[in-house]
Amino acid sequence: MTEPQLSVRSAKARELAYRLASRERRTIAAIVERALEEYEQRHSEQTPPGEFYRDLQASCSSDVDLDAVLEDHRAPHHGIKL
C-alpha cells in the first residue's frame, strides 16, 4: 500500500520545502509535517474572534463619555510668545 500524498500547486511553497529539506537533511514530507504541526499548535491556542470580542465586552462593558473626558482635560491655548 502506498503512502498518502499531498499535492502543492504553489511553486514558492515547493521551492521553500525543498530548500528546507536540503538544509536540514530531512524529507520534504517531514518538513511539511513539522511546519503544519507547529502551525496547528500556534493557532489552536488563540481564541476565536467572536468569543474574544464577547469576553472583551463583558470585562470592559463600562461606557465612557468621551466628550466629558476631553472637556476635563481641555485647556485654552494662549498662542505663542513673541
CA atoms of 74 and 82, how far apart (whole Å): 24
The more confidently predicted of residues 41 and 4 is 41
Separation in Å, CA 29 to CA 3, 50, 64, 67, 77: 11, 35, 54, 59, 67
> pLDDT for 18-45, tens place per residue?
999 999 999 988 999 999 999 888 877 7
Provide the residue ranges of all domains of the chain, joining segments of one domain with +. Answer: 11-73
Q: What is the mean pLDDT of residues 50-79?
A: 83
Contacts of 17 (CB under 8 A, 6+ apart): 8, 28, 31, 32
pLDDT score for 22: 93
- Judged by DSSP in three states, 29 sits in helix
pLDDT score for 37: 92
Q: What is the mean pLDDT of residues 48-55?
A: 84
pLDDT score for 24: 93
